[in-house]
Amino acid sequence: MPHVHPPHPAGLHVRTRLLAARIALALLALPPALPADDGLAALEGFSYQPPQPGTYTLPVIKPAADGQVIDHTGQTRSLHDLTRGAVTVMSFIYTRCASPRACPFATGVLNQIHEVAGARPEFAGRLRLISMSFDPENDTARRMSDYSRWARERSVPVDWHFLTTRSATELNPILDAYGQAVNRRSNPRDPQGPLHHTLRVFLIDAEGRIRNIYSSDTLDPRLVLTDIRTLLIESGTAASPTAG
């Protein structure tokens, strides 16, 4: 798999405004969230109904790989420490992406999950979200801090970590381990962004095992929430809706 060597960034303040506009458009394009007390039916606008949580099993795909990352404060973290102890939804992104069915879409879906799960006590301390950049030269800790401020200021008991790496040397083994393909576009001024990539969002159980991988065609926030609840039921930290 070709490794990523991202181009140098342009003016940070201009990109930040463009980024805010992209996120806003992505959120507007998603179906509306209904009141949190509607449970897992709170997200609508899709043409099918997900199964009831706990009525199916999610096979173990493989262990979630480790790697050295940095958070939005610049602190070095172990990816293993952030993908164990709670169900984790991890999305690979880069902040310059403008492809409507890629990073802005994934961030918008994670935003809906954050809002709905954050309002439900059953997810408190049992779920975390991760947005992991694959553009370390541009997506510095400061950049990720600017990118994530709106989510971090939301007062909900579900953590959402925005991570990057210090270099492509640290990043590329992580991309290889997760099978996340990233290539530089031939036209660095492509309106969809300078990097071409597949959309992959990973569902990781509390033991650090990948249990599902979503694409742009399957990243339905209702399905992700149902899968999360299925893992919580499996681990005995949530009640099955079919019990009793």
pLDDT per position as a tens digit, 112-138:
999 999 999 999 999 999 999 999 999
Task: Tell me the average pLDDT of the chain.
Answer: 84
pLDDT for 91: 98
For the whole model, what pTM was predicted? 0.81
Q: Using alpha carbons only, what angle is made at residue 228 by residues 225 and 231, rounded to the nearest 5 degrees?
A: 155
Q: Which two tokens stand for residue 135?
A: 């553009």
pLDDT for 38: 40
Nearest to 204 by CA among 40, 58, 43: 58
Distances (CA, A) of 151 to 107, 192, 206, 211: 10, 23, 23, 25
Bridge partner list, 127: 87
Contact predicate 231/202, CB 8 Å: no
Q: Which two tokens stand for residue 63?
A: 């262990």
pLDDT per position as a tens digit, 234-243:
999 766 665 5
Nearest to 70 by CA among 170, 176, 199: 170
